Amino acid sequence: MTYEIQAWIEQLRSGDARVLARAISTVENRASGWSELLKALFPHSGKARVIGLTGPPGAGKSTLVDHLARLYRKEKRTVGIIAVDPTSPYTGGAILGDRIRMQEHFSDPGIYIRSMATRGSLGGLARTTADVATVLDASGRDIVLIETVGVGQDEVDIVRLADITVVILVPGMGDDVQTIKAGIMEIADIFVINKSDREGAERVEREIRALQSLALRQDGWTPPIVKTVASEGAGVSELAAAIAEYEAYLQTENLALKKSVQNWQERLVEMLRDAMLENAREQLGDGNLARLAVEIAEHKRDPYTLVEEIAGRTKAGGST
């Protein structure tokens, strides 16, 4: 580790918000030194509780996360929030407005908020989110809240890296939202019915129960259903209690480590895939890639054979 990185890490762990912002940007943008930084930070990580919160657009996630963060602050716990918006692949920043509002709201340095949006990367959003969570974790934040819009595979990948996953639903969602729910029902450790003062809250609860009765979890945990009205702060302490209860359950059953091992199996393969992508790009080179793409587009060359040939050349020995 260079002296520079060591000094950086000391500042970071002292709680300096500007240094934290710089470290996150370095990791997020894959700027010079990002990999060295993560290597140096990793041994300091693993202490924070990472909570993922997801739900359909308009479910009131930001407001709920806002209240949850305040509650943890009252308990003197420091909080890092990562707000991920995978629905903005090119333009990004759609969620930024909310976040700026929230930043103004909290002058408290014990809450750090960071917005992220896809940048047309090859499915790298979950990976980057995980790395940013590692930075927040290593910087000494007690709680890391990852908030994302739950509509597709990206979001499932993002919240899956959390220790605890909260799925937020709202009454009055149409049949299409039923479809959306199908994907995220299975990753919920806790359900929240937000805007529960609205008509239809009972129906959503019945639907969740019906789905639960169809598919029992392997770990024996039955995800509780918490009703909230986030705009008024109602039900937030009940949500925090449910989170604490699941946390305790994870500990007694030694499930926390098991879950972490499972997550790391998947993350390792994903990290390896990204590294391989780098190898593949290097191997092809820009000029070569353009030439080969023309030959394929003109149907003079078959891409399946080509890829097999190149990949065949990159097999190597050695063991780890």
**Binding to a copy of itself (CB under 8 A): which residues in 237-266?**
257, 260-265
Min. distance of Cβ 302 from a copy of itself in angstroms?
4
Min. distance of Cβ 199 from a copy of itself in angstroms?
18
Stretch in the footprint of a copy of itself (CB under 8 A) among 34-42, 73-81, 101-109, 247-255: 34-42
Which of 153, 216, 231, 253: binder of a copy of itself (CB under 8 A)? 153
Min. distance of Cβ 119 from a copy of itself in angstroms?
10
293 binding a copy of itself? (CB under 8 A): yes
183 binding a copy of itself? (CB under 8 A): yes
Cα separation, 13 vs 56, in Å, equals 35
User: Is the Cβ of residue 177 or residue 242 nearer to a copy of itself in the bound state?
Assistant: 177
303 binding a copy of itself? (CB under 8 A): yes
313 binding a copy of itself? (CB under 8 A): yes
Pairing of strands 111-117, 49-55: unpaired
Which of 79, 151, 208, 236: binder of a copy of itself (CB under 8 A)? 151
